[in-house]
Amino acid sequence: MHAQAELPDQVADEACARVGNDRHRLLDVLLTVQHRCRWIAPAAIDRIAARLGLTALAVRGVASFYSFLSLEPRGHITIRLCDDIIDRHAGYDGVLAAFEDALGIRLGGISADGAVSLDATPCIGLCDQAPAAMVNDVVLAGLTPERARDAARALKAGARPEDLVSPVFDSLSAHERVRAAVANNIRLSGDVLLGEVPREAGLRRALALTPEQIIAAITASGLRGCGGAGFPAGRKWEAAAREAAARRFIICNADEGEPGTFKDRVLLTERPHLLIEGMTIAARAVGAREGILYLRGEYAYLRDHLEAVLAERRAAGLLGVGILGTPGFDFDIRLQLGAGAYICGEEGALISSCEGLRGEPKTRPPFPVQRGYLGFPTVVNSVETLCHAARILDRGPEWFFAMGTPGSHGTKLFSVSGDCRAPGIYELPYGVSVQELLHLAGAEDAAAVQVGGPSGVMIGRDSFHRQLSFDDLATGGAIIVFSGARNILEIVDYYLSFFVHESCGYCTPCRVGNVFLREAIAKFRNGHANAEDVAYLRSLSATIIETSRCGLGTTSPNPVLSTLAHFPLVYSVVTKPSDDGLQATFDIQSAIENARGIAKRRSFVFDRDFSQ
Amino acid sequence: MTDAAFTLTIDGTVVAAKPGQTIMEAADAAGIYIPRLCDHQGLRHQGGCRVCTVKAAGRSVAACTQPAAPGLAVENETPHLHALRRDLVEMLFHEGNHLCPICEASGNCELQAMAYRLGMIEPSKFPYLEPTRPVDASHPDIALDTNRCISCGRCIRASEDVDGKGVFGYVGRGIHRRVAVDGADLAHTDAALSDHAVSADVCPVGCIIRKREGFRVPIGERDFDHHLIGETIAEKRR
Ligand SMILES: Cc1cc2nc3c(=O)[nH]c(=O)nc-3n(C[C@H](O)[C@H](O)[C@H](O)COP(=O)(O)O)c2cc1C
Ligand code: SF4
Ligand code: SF4
Ligand code: SF4
Ligand code: FES
Ligand code: FES
């Protein structure tokens, strides 16, 4: 039924040859072997090590880091079902059962003939159309048990994953293939990114400016990084331009791993030229000749489409040597595919990954703008930031500066998902309130909103008046809506499991502390917690935040801390008096009644809608 | 940057430093001990255990990787940092399997000594993860018991950078990140007793064991049986 697997050492030879036996391209080599052999066999590891001049252990170390690389055989068809909390609320259990039933395998299993394997994976960026799954390099969105069963049966009968997307898949263009698989759900287009955007207008203006003038324009616009940290883009470019160096790099961060975030997916699909234009302008500004577009492994279905865009631009003289006839302005971009690791969105880890290493953050300082990719000054910007930059060059910094709030200029793409009628992308100026956004998305039942994904904060109704901006509620763009019917502790538990799964393991507090935090939340869920456990949650969280080495560990306790702050009742109602007798007279109902009055909400356990 | 020496303060004491030095290097030279587990003399810095966390200009940083800077005010011995460090050391204990009374490293072990220094005397509040990890006794001269491994990476860096070999390395991610060897087991690597990586003081705990040398120094007469960890550094100041 399925093609016989190819010999691992032969595939390894070819894969190494294709990258010129360059060890910095180890991730590409491993992805090729995984793709063609469906696992990284010991024979392949030995051959890769010999070809690239590495130890077999070093190759195994990298292969074992990434979720989409496997040291055990996976199916010729590898199904990965998103098991995020959004999908669980949207029917994940039924879809999983349908797959298991129709394929005759359990989650984590592989069919006896090696044809199909079934795994779960964190958010794949289709939160507005959950439940969703990857099937090899295509995606299935809006799954129902029926669709899952049909898909499984078709695959068993020999259909290709592509056939599930469209019966005429082969005759579609790369862009049409993406469109056939995924709806973009652009609900509101703003002036900057999703409205009418003239082609190459920003780049043409940039060519008339000096690099210093380009940087000055970006600085004057007030543009701040949209990947979450909000670092001023102009200052970053300026710092990289200032370093004395033989080579410089522009890296676009399209890792989009924060659960609940899918704006980059939409920009990559609908505004790819604007993005590459932004990268090209950045290259001009800092004097870079080489660029990398780091695309998360979950977005492999966008690869052909993006390669087509790059090829088109090379052919049009918009990439390559002497861009738009400008002598000395040379810049080209390679696409680097990731392999399933949230931490690779962290800029240092992303650079490690591009270098063919385990995706571990780098020690800072030096910062990437000083010593980044291969030790050269490197600007890492998110997709959205680079798109904004191109628009700023076209329309001028004042235009951009005038939008938004005093600390956050321009517009922002919000990825809205969860319990609402109109999930999708909303482009709005910074400063919009959570309430306004919920209203637009038809989320009247919202009782809790996760702002910024798991690494952000969960707020309740008493905070919905707050503004989305760096001055108030900062967010990379994820807005996950939960109705009053949802179990807050289940959500917290899931998010902690996510961080445990995605921690790189480099530093003690994040590697070990997050496991303890998850165990502590389990204690609350099981009804075994007492009042001291709340203090324990707080102190453990504080240690993790204060001693972790990178942003993953410094934010991973946020689900715990923000729910303790905004939904204290969720914890207190499941907390038992401790054995010491001091709280033996504690009456939970009267305590709740008291707290209900203060918090103006009802109990989550004893009343269905805990936040009324 | 100029090469001119400068000063910073550590808990109020003025300390001289040179450009390129880390806070820990400057502290060591001045005879001020900052607790550490993954950092080791002569090896590249890893910055992974976080036991060396200090406050520099109000921000918590790893002293072993953070550059010293002119005028920097560093806090080292404060109750707050002490508590953080104890949490981290407890995490390392609970992550692996540590039964000191039957461990060959007892008395020479930096983890155990750090626990004593930080006053880890009551039962910890953390759960035990109790992993199952096989012992690798395949090599004629060396054994590897990763039940006690604290993921400090000292063996990795010593093997790569000093021995030029790459016998040890990390595999896996997150809580499953482990130290592994370049071969089916230690016997199938080019590890040798003469390697720096397997010398007595590279592995801080009882993980890399030199066979037939065990208990040569009786318990009670070992390094940390007589003095606190860090005392040799602090002695320089006296
Ligand atoms: C754990 C972690 C994950 C991250 N993931 C992403 C990501 O998926 N996309 C992104 O643009 N930035 C991500 N970041 C932020 C990047 O480190 C970096 O700040 C950003 O790419 C810089 O681009 P910007 O200034 O344009 O936002 C992440 C940071 C951390 C700590
Ligand atoms: S905080 Fe977590 S993700 Fe970041 S370096 Fe430490 S272990 Fe890795
Ligand atoms: S390695 Fe150290 S802490 Fe662990 S059991 Fe041995 S002596 Fe105790
Ligand atoms: S084996 Fe020893 S030296 Fe190597 S990482 Fe583990 S504890 Fe550190
Ligand atoms: S795709 Fe499932 S939550 Fe994002
Ligand atoms: S000694 Fe600094 S992090 Fe381990």
Picking from B77, B103, B134, the residue at the C-terminal end of a domain is: B77
Indicate if B66 and B106 belong to the same structural domain: no
Contact A516 B182 (CB under 8 A): no
Q: Taking 60 as the threshold, does the pLDDT of residue A196 lie above it?
A: yes
B91 and chain A in contact, CB less than 8 A: yes
B151 and chain A in contact, CB less than 8 A: yes
pLDDT of residue A289: 98
- The helix (H) or strand (E) run that includes residue B135 is strand B135-136
Q: Which B-chain residues 186-225 have CB contacts (< 8 A) with chain A?
A: none
User: Among the residues of A246-302, which ranges form H helices?
Assistant: 263-270, 272-286
pLDDT of residue A224: 98
Range of the domain at B35: 6-77
Residue B165 to residues B137, B152, B158, B182, Cα–Cα distance (Å): 20, 18, 9, 9
- Nearest one of B142, B143, B125 to B134, comparing CA atoms: B143
pTM of the model: 0.95
Name every residue whose Cβ is closer than 8 Å to that of residue A64 and which is 6 or more positions away in sequence.
A71, B171, B172, B173
* CATH T-level fold of A408-485: Ubiquitin-like (UB roll) (3.10.20)
* Residue from the list A58, A508, A516 with its beta carbon closest to the beta carbon of B166: A58
Superfamily of domain A80-183: Glutaredoxin (3.40.30.10)
Least confident piece of the model among A315-319, A474-478, A480-484: A474-478
Q: Taking 60 as the threshold, does the pLDDT of residue A590 lie above it?
A: no
Give A534→chain B minimum CA distance, Å. 13
Q: Taking 70 as the threshold, does the pLDDT of residue A580 lie above it?
A: no
Cα of A551 vs centre of ligand 1, distance in Å, is 9
pLDDT of residue A585: 36
Indicate if B21 and B108 belong to the same structural domain: no
* Residue from the list A60, A500, A546 with its beta carbon closest to the beta carbon of B60: A546
Any idea what DSSP says for residue B159?
I
- Nearest one of A594, A599, A572 to A583, comparing CA atoms: A572
Question: CA A592, CA A567: separation in Å to the nearest integer?
Answer: 12
Domain covering A489-572 in this structure, CATH number: 1.20.1440.230
pLDDT of residue A291: 98
Q: What percent of chain B has pLDDT over 70?
A: 99
B112 CA closest ligand 3 atom index: 3
Among A59, A358, A508, most B C-beta atoms within 10 A, so best to mutate, is A508
* Residue B219 maps to a domain: no
Indicate if B95 and B205 belong to the same structural domain: yes
Q: CA B28, B33, B38: angle at the middle one, nearest 5?
A: 85
Contact B169 A57 (CB under 8 A): yes
Indicate if B55 and B116 belong to the same structural domain: no
* Residue from the list A57, A65, A548 with its beta carbon closest to the beta carbon of B182: A57
Confidence band, pLDDT 50/70/90 cuts, at residue A300: very high
Question: CA B62, CA A557: separation in Å to the nearest integer?
Answer: 20
pLDDT of residue A583: 41
Any idea what DSSP says for residue A108?
T
Strand order in the sheet with A116-121: A116-121, A77-82, A133-135, A138-140
A519 and chain B in contact, CB less than 8 A: yes
Section B105-133 average pLDDT: 92
Location of structure tokens 């030096």 = A366
Q: CA A92, A612, A468: angle at the middle one, nearest 5?
A: 70
Indicate if B132 and B194 belong to the same structural domain: yes
Residues of A in contact with B182 (CB under 8 A): 55-58
* Residue B225 maps to a domain: no
Ligand 4 first shell, C-beta below 6 A: B 149-155, 168, 179, 202-205, 207-208
Indicate if B192 and B94 belong to the same structural domain: yes
A-to-B residue pairs, Cβ atoms closer than 8 angstroms: 114
pLDDT of residue B223: 87
C-beta A317 within 6 A of ligand 2: no
Give A394→chain B minimum CA distance, Å. 38
Residues of A in contact with B69 (CB under 8 A): none
Q: Taking 60 as the threshold, does the pLDDT of residue B12 lie above it?
A: yes
The 3-state DSSP class for residue B142 equals strand
Any idea what DSSP says for residue A363?
P
Enter the ipTM: 0.97
Q: Which residues of A291-303 are buried (b: 16+ CB within 10 A; e: fewer)?
A: bbbbbbbbbbbbb
Indicate if B56 and B89 belong to the same structural domain: no
Section A100-114 average pLDDT: 96
Residue-range domain boundaries for chain A: 8-63, 80-183, 201-402, 408-485, 489-572
pLDDT tens readout for residues A261-298: 999 999 999 999 999 999 999 999 999 999 999 999 99
* CATH T-level fold of A201-402: Rossmann fold (3.40.50)
Mean pLDDT of the residues in chain B: 95
- The helix (H) or strand (E) run that includes residue B72 is none
Section A590-603 average pLDDT: 49
Say how many domains are in chain B: 2
Indicate if B63 and B89 belong to the same structural domain: no
Mean pLDDT of the residues in chain A: 94
Indicate if B16 and B63 belong to the same structural domain: yes
Contact A353, A336 (CB under 8 A): yes
pLDDT of residue A581: 46
Ligand 6 first shell, C-beta below 6 A: B 36-39, 47-52, 62, 64
Q: Taking 70 as the threshold, does the pLDDT of residue A218 lie above it?
A: yes
Question: CA B227, CA A553: separation in Å to the nearest integer?
Answer: 34
pLDDT of residue B220: 84
Confidence band, pLDDT 50/70/90 cuts, at residue A5: low
* Residue B28 maps to a domain: yes
Contact B45 A57 (CB under 8 A): no
Number of H helices, E strands in chain A: 27, 16
The CATH code of the domain that includes B128 is: 3.30.70.20
* Nearest listed ligand to the Cα of residue B209: 4
pLDDT of residue A578: 66
Confidence band, pLDDT 50/70/90 cuts, at residue B2: low
Torsional class of A375: left (φ above 0), alpha (ψ -120 to 50), beta (otherwise)? left
pLDDT tens readout for residues A516-547: 999 999 999 999 999 999 999 999 999 999 99
Nearest CA, atom 4, ligand 3: B98
Indicate if B71 and B90 belong to the same structural domain: no
Contact B48 A516 (CB under 8 A): no
Name every residue whose Cβ is closer than 8 Å to that of residue A535 and which is 6 or more positions away in sequence.
none
| Residue A157 CB neighbour total at 10 angstroms | 8
- Nearest one of A529, A497, A538 to A514, comparing CA atoms: A497
Q: Taking 70 as the threshold, does the pLDDT of residue A608 lie above it?
A: no
* Residue B231 maps to a domain: no
**In terms of pLDDT, which residue wins out, A318 or A597?**
A318
Cα of A552 vs centre of ligand 2, distance in Å, is 6
Cα of B2 vs centre of ligand 2, distance in Å, is 33
The CATH code of the domain that includes B53 is: 3.10.20.740
Q: What percent of chain A has pLDDT over 90?
A: 92
Give B217→chain A minimum CA distance, Å. 31
Q: Taking 60 as the threshold, does the pLDDT of residue A90 lie above it?
A: yes
